Amino acid sequence: MVRSVPMAPEVAKSLARLAQRDRWTGDDDLVFPGASGYFLDGRALSRRYVAAARRAGLRELRFHDLRHTFGTRMIGKAHIGRVQEWMGHADVQTTMKYLHYVPREQDAELVAEAFHLEPDPTPVRNSCPVACSRAILLRRMSLNGEQAERVAAKELPDLLAELLELEGGVSLHPQRRGADLVIDLPEGRRLVAEVKSSARSADVAAAARQARAYAQEGDLPVVVVPYMGEAGARAAAAEGVGWIDLSGNARLRDRDLFVRVEGRANRYPSRGRPSSPFAPASSRVTRHLLQDPERWWRQAELSKTTGLDDGRVSKLVARLDELELLERDGPLLRPRDPDALLDAWAADYNFAAHDIVACHLTAPGGGVELAREIADGLAEASATHALTGLPAAWMLDKFAQFRLVSVFVDDDPRRVADLIGARVEPRGANLQLIGPNDGGVFVGADTVDGVRVVAPVQAYLDLLALPERAREAAEHLREKRLSWRRRG
């Protein structure tokens, strides 16, 4: 299938300049290749896009929001039928199927006019028009229960049409039968939705049970929330019910239907959200609770063990209580459900918040040999360190060979790079030296097969953010090392 889209002259000029680069200028070469000349991986494309958006002075936007901006800008310059054609809409209601298009002579001029910017050397922040994207309008808006249901009624039909690739769209069913929303699907099927403003595991589980109770034979029960975290997703899965969030993510499974969309950013972050109990230093409480989930703790013991003052520990415990992540026995406390506590922490954990220095170190052999050489060098230099990510997964359970070695160091990682003779080089890096944003990452670290590695909980959190087979390794590690016995 070939599509034609009008190109503004400024874009054409920028693309033409690519012919002057040193490599990848042949007829068969990619226009936007990776360092090796092959396709960019998703992470590389995302990094380039974020960097370009920042240079342009734009607010935070999803990549897909650029498409919405195009439509909004062009609708004021061209007939709606032409915009529909350019954007590939099968009809006005859905954007899923694209149409063939034959460009008209003046189309490029229209696009150039719509996106023309007055010369100004100073980037203008927030220059996107108010109506450029529904996602932008709602970006910083949290939803209460009534708002969530209202927004779901408005947006869920279009979102479902996109997720299920339904050219004709879907519509709300007038008879709700007690459920929050009922949506007609093709072939006489219906989706029965319970809408919640919160994705807390307890709320999601309750909504899943309600949706299942309202659903009739052949119906598809689902939970709808503004944004689904991993803890809520696990709660829905435990109830055997699928989910959709209004940010565009989904997990649906029913007979011949399977939909899984992940990674779309939260369009509805809460305003005035209480401080996170999983912030770098604050997470020490959770870290120690998960080291031995069966142990009952007093707050004074947690304060002494974590090095946090009594007042701070009290506030953190209260916040964890509010999130229904703790169980109590008088003054004693422990995780209500260790899995739910880990999921909540993982949803909040930001690996990129550490001081990560990408390096290259020439060494014979593969990743395992490199990891051992680095660990030996750091040990000889008496540098506090611990392997994490795929090297830790390998040492703990021999899971998957790897190329990238990730290691926490209790020092400036640049100084450590000099110490071990590593070259700071993001391109082709085979080593990440990580200065932790809190020393808690070393809690529970152990020597395994002669090499210092972080605790399984820390390795799991880091694996979720790393490339190669890291996510697969995270699930393996969780199954083998973090499968806590459920309490009856």
What pLDDT score does 109 carry?
Answer: 59
Q: Which class would CATH give 351-481?
A: alpha beta
What pLDDT score does 105 carry?
Answer: 47
Q: Does domain 283-348 have CATH number 3.40.50.12280?
A: no
Q: Does domain 145-261 have CATH number 3.40.1350?
A: yes
Q: What is the mean pLDDT of residues 456-463?
A: 96
Task: Please tell me which residue, 90 or 158, carries the higher pLDDT value.
Answer: 158
What pLDDT score does 89 carry?
Answer: 67
Q: What is the mean pLDDT of residues 320-342?
A: 92
* φ/ψ of residue 242, rounded to 5: -80, 175
User: Which of 23-27, 118-122, 253-257, 290-294 is predicted with the least confidence, judged by mean pLDDT?
Assistant: 118-122
The pLDDT of residue 486 is above 80: no
DSSP summary character for residue 169: -
- Could you give the CA distance from residue 26 to residue 286 in angstroms, rounded to a whole number? 54
Q: What is the mean pLDDT of residues 28-53?
A: 74
Q: What is the mean pLDDT of residues 199-206?
A: 84
Q: How confident is the model at residue 245 (pLDDT cuts 50, 70, 90)?
A: very high
Dihedral (Cα; 26, 31, 37, 43), 10-degree rounding: 180
In Å, how far are 9, 117, 265, 411 from 121, measured between CA atoms?
Answer: 20, 11, 31, 40
What pLDDT score does 267 carry?
Answer: 82
Contact (Cβ atoms closer than 8 angstroms) between residue 182 and residue 209: no
User: Can you give the residue ranges of every domain in the chain?
Assistant: 9-134, 145-261, 283-348, 351-481
What pLDDT score does 118 carry?
Answer: 45
The pLDDT of residue 158 is above 90: no
- What pLDDT, in 10s, does the model give residues 371-405? 999 999 999 988 999 999 999 999 998 988 899 99
- What pLDDT, in 10s, does the model give residues 177-197? 678 888 888 777 888 999 998
- Could you give the CA distance from residue 172 to residue 208 in angstroms, rounded to a whole number? 20
Reduced to 3 states (helix: H, G, I; strand: E, B; else coil), residue 301 is helix
Reduced to 3 states (helix: H, G, I; strand: E, B; else coil), residue 360 is strand
Q: Model pTM?
A: 0.54
Q: How confident is the model at residue 274 (pLDDT cuts 50, 70, 90)?
A: low
The pLDDT of residue 285 is above 90: yes
Give me the chain's average pLDDT, please.
80
